[in-house]
Structure 1
Amino acid sequence: MHSSSITFSRRGLFALLAVSAAMAALLAGCASAPSTLATPGTKPKESTTAVRPAPTVPKQAAPDDAAIEPRFAKWVADFRITARAQGISEATLRSAFDQVQYLPRVIELDRAQPEFTRTTWDYLDNAVTPQRVTTGQDKLQQVRAEADAAAARYGVPPAVVVAIWGMESNYGGNYGNTPVVDALATLGFEGRREDWARHELLAALKILDSGDIARERMIGSWAGAMGQTQFLPSNFLAYAVDADGDGRRDIWGSMPDVVASTANFLVRSGWQAGAPWGVEVQLPAGFDYGRADMAVRQPSAQWAAEGLRAIDGQPLPELADASVLLPAGARGPAFLVGPNFRAVLRYNNSTNYALAVSLLAQRLGGGPGVQAPWPRDTAALSRSQVVELQTALSQRGFATGAADGVMGPATREGLRRYQRSVGLPADGYPSAELLLRLQQP
């Protein structure tokens, strides 16, 4: 679900270094991931950028955090007891925790809730750039042998794996340098998502215990995602592969392992060999936009019988359980997506991310980009504007659930019901025009 990249000192004499590190963090940018984390194996929501460079984080507590350190040490000591009871060796516990540090910047990033969101076309403009396509084509040739071997074993095309590699770490150029144990211990101690962080931290200890990687090389993003294609520790345990036969699963330095592990993740997530991710389509006149929903699935042959055609006029490819995707609403491009698109969503649960991976892979293989125009005159609603939209819909009797600023399924359904009630295309797409209309007496 897929992927995607800051050092304070301890005493007042080093305060200037702390400020410099914070500035470096801002320049480095934040890693992106999909949905807010509650479930082991899924990534915490970082910022909505298209490439997922993992930011560096302070390695030591800032002066104001000195009072936290005794409590952090107590939390770590208690966790050591739990890990020991789970069979983690004393040598691994010493390696992992004797020098573990609380990272305050991790907490800052985890709590951050960006006010402004990005439109799909802005996301894609940044993700599927001509430079990323050209670089990806070069990288595809560089790892051709490894990618072909993984494709033969797992049925995942090389271009798809390389596209994920490009999205998650800019083809290995930046996969973070935050110690994973420190990041997860910090998140577990802070407590907002303690159960998830404890689960991932225990998985990280199991990886260290197995000898796959040394503690100093187990680095990644502030949220604990690791290596060139950003696996969480639990996903590493489930899907990482020793493809080069050296006895270790190394997604940091071994390209055979990186490529095979990523392909294994996808195939274990439902990837169907030989099937496309989807296709850009033309919708027939009178199409019910309310059916453009990932929950509405049927074979592409049935969609074709209803009048859908590929954007180039060709017959639709064979897709099982296909859904119509309108990432910009009724005014934007339309796509018919199948099981392989959903497999990428399991890597990173963001339709923007899955669409970017799919289109980047398509471009790497010499295929086209998006053909229909985007409604570039439409701005994305901010989180506070989405709250206003949800509140206005609920006040009019179109329930949206909690007014939390997130366009989830309940909000989209409430918006669709409102659109139908006033004779608008029921695409569930939020816009400033709709918000203004809802707020009028």
Structure 2
Amino acid sequence: MLVRTLSRRFSGAVAAAGLFLAVIASGNPAHADAGFKQWVAGFRATAAQSGISRSTYDRAFRGVDSPDLEVIEKARYQPEFTAPVWDYFDNRVNEHSVAVGRQMAQKWKPWLDRIEAKYGVDRHILLAIWSMESNYGEILKNDRVMRNVVRSLATLAYADQRRAKFARTQLIAALKILQSGDIDESHLTGSWAGAMGHTQFIPTSYQAYAVDIDGNGKRDIWNSVPDALATAANLLRKNGWQTGRTWGYEVSLPAGRKFPSGSVSLAKWAEMGVTRPSGKRFTNPAENAVLKVPDGRGGPAFLMTRNFFVLKKYNNADKYALAVGLLADQIAGYGQLARDWQRPFTRLSYDEKLELQQRLSAHGYYDGKADGKIGEGSKSAIKAFQVQAGLSPDGHPSLEVLQSLRQR
């Protein structure tokens, strides 16, 4: 949860972090380690003032003798998301994420029944969040991604002085989680910014919303899928989720008209000629909605209702909330968009993307995992192949590139 928001918060290097990395680059990491150990020793008093016992502190920092350099790099070099809108959605709302979501809906049906009944949040929304946050838990198995939360947050508090207050607050919260007994120190893992578990909660959000729905006495979002999904549902409910209501509608816009930027009723939108592609009427015409066209007037258009903005409480980005809504709808069987994103190439299916990565790997262009997700490594490999093949090096995962690879 909030990983991208945190990325924005931590973007931009600060002098302290720059000096810290300069020490490492100079070949004298022992000096930086000594400074870090001194910071850890000094933070003990701050933790004690917040109710953290000596034994908890010692357990948390056992073996944490040096800062995590990868955390510093990620904090310093997190760019704002500038990729085309179709790139974001293609990697998150696709045949694979939908198929796995439906499998998980069956596997966890008894728990989803209980969670939906207790919190009033649609199960497909929860499944979509689970997919977006941790790929249905698969990311938790990746040791290259998951890190010691205490070490990560201590590193940020030590090396990034402009963000130190936030990192210290999260670190105290993490120590309280450990002290509560919900998780032990060996399993208190998360992302580089401290987001934890199947549904990626930062420590303070965990404290505010975590629940123990499986009844084992622990709020375990790391190992208990029911606890993780119920925790996500609790966050949405407490932030105003409206049971039985949608997040929004895909709509068709009449050509040549200008529309208000604010929130007006669905009935008013209908009067202005805004319709659903299916031809169905809006379910609750008195409900207010805001028009969003993330890909411009040439791409799909949406009327966003209140639940869309509740989803943004999970991650304050329109793209994130829309991806959750679209993925949830497809898992539920409502079908794909009537108007697709404006891509400058022919889109590949998920299986074709896997084939693309496998062929790039076989020809020595790609050394990453074949997972059907086109990240920076895949794009660089595509560009390298395009250059050698005499194609325009745009890095797009296109049918044209795949066909060219098949001919090799």
| 8 Å CA contact retained: 1:144, 1:158 | no
Structure 2 partner of 1:179: 148
In the TM superposition, what whole-angstrom CA distance separates every residue of 1:158-188 from its partner, at most 9, and x where no partner exists? Answer: 1110111111111011134200010000011
CA distance in 1, matches of 2:291, 2:123: 26
Instruction: Tell me the percent identity.
Output: 44
Structure 1 partner of 2:369: none
In the TM superposition, what whole-angstrom CA distance separates every residue of 1:292-329 from its partner, at most 9, and x where no partner exists? Answer: 4xxx2122222222221112122123273311111011
- Residue 286 of structure 1 deviates from its aligned partner by 3.5
Structure 2 partner of 1:93: 57
- Residue 370 of structure 1 deviates from its aligned partner by 1.5
Aligned residue type for 1:187:
L
| 8 Å CA contact retained: 2:7, 2:75 | no
- Residue 116 of structure 1 deviates from its aligned partner by 7.1
Alignment pair present for 1:215 and 2:185 = yes
| 8 Å CA contact retained: 1:35, 1:349 | no
| 8 Å CA contact retained: 1:65, 1:104 | no
Which of residues 299, 309, 313 in structure 1 aligns to 2:279? 313
CA distance in 1, matches of 2:115, 2:207: 18
- Residue 37 of structure 1 deviates from its aligned partner by 5.2
| 8 Å CA contact retained: 2:8, 2:80 | no
Which of residues 205, 217, 223 in structure 2 aligns to 1:247? 217
The DSSP-based 3-state class of the residue aligned with 2:311 is helix
The DSSP-based 3-state class of the residue aligned with 1:336 is strand
CA distance in 2, matches of 1:363, 1:172: 20
| 8 Å CA contact retained: 1:326, 1:334 | yes
Taking a change above 3 Å as real, the CA distance of residues 222 and 359 of structure 1, as seen in their structure-2 partners, is same
CA distance in 1, matches of 2:324, 2:46: 39
TM-score (norm 2): 0.75
Instruction: Return 5+ residue gaps in structure 2 as ranges.
Output: 13-23, 346-408
Structure 2 partner of 1:136: 101
CA distance in 2, matches of 1:283, 1:35: 35
CA distance in 2, matches of 1:90, 1:116: 42
Structure 2 partner of 1:262: 232
Structure 2 partner of 1:339: 306
In the TM superposition, what whole-angstrom CA distance separates every residue of 1:137-175 from its partner, at most 9, and x where no partner exists? Answer: 101111111111110011111111011111111101113
Structure 2 partner of 1:355: 322
Taking a change above 3 Å as real, the CA distance of residues 195 and 115 of structure 1, as seen in their structure-2 partners, is closer
CA distance in 2, matches of 1:129, 1:333: 16
Structure 1 partner of 2:339: 372
The DSSP-based 3-state class of the residue aligned with 2:251 is strand
Structure 1 partner of 2:18: none
CA distance in 2, matches of 1:271, 1:116: 27
CA distance in 1, matches of 2:81, 2:121: 35
Aligned residue type for 1:305:
E
Which of residues 245, 257, 264 in structure 2 aligns to 1:298? 264
Alignment pair present for 1:33 and 2:1 = no
Alignment pair present for 1:274 and 2:244 = yes
Taking a change above 3 Å as real, the CA distance of residues 115 and 358 of structure 1, as seen in their structure-2 partners, is closer
CA distance in 1, matches of 2:81, 2:116: 39
Taking a change above 3 Å as real, the CA distance of residues 197 and 278 of structure 1, as seen in their structure-2 partners, is same
In the TM superposition, what whole-angstrom CA distance separates every residue of 1:347-376 from its partner, at most 9, and x where no partner exists? Answer: 111211111111111010001121113222
In the TM superposition, what whole-angstrom CA distance separates every residue of 1:267-291 from its partner, at most 9, and x where no partner exists? Answer: 11221111001010012334325x3
Structure 2 partner of 1:237: 207
| 8 Å CA contact retained: 1:188, 1:194 | yes
CA distance in 1, matches of 2:321, 2:184: 32
The DSSP-based 3-state class of the residue aligned with 1:127 is coil
Aligned ranges 1:101-112 → 2 under 5 Å: 101-112=66-77
Structure 2 partner of 1:145: 110
Question: Number of residues paired by the alignment?
Answer: 326
- Residue 34 of structure 1 deviates from its aligned partner by 3.7
In the TM superposition, what whole-angstrom CA distance separates every residue of 1:88-147 from its partner, at most 9, and x where no partner exists? Answer: 111111111232231011010111143772112111111111111111110111111111
| 8 Å CA contact retained: 1:35, 1:350 | no
Structure 2 partner of 1:326: 293
CA distance in 2, matches of 1:115, 1:163: 23
Is 179-188 or 298-307 further displaced after alignment? Answer: 298-307
TM-score (norm 1): 0.70
Instruction: Return 5+ residue gaps in structure 1 as ranges.
Output: 4-31, 39-43, 47-60, 379-441
Provide the aligned C-alpha RMSD in A. Answer: 2.1
In the TM superposition, what whole-angstrom CA distance separates every residue of 1:193-238 from its partner, at most 9, and x where no partner exists? Answer: 1111111111101111111110110101111000011000000000
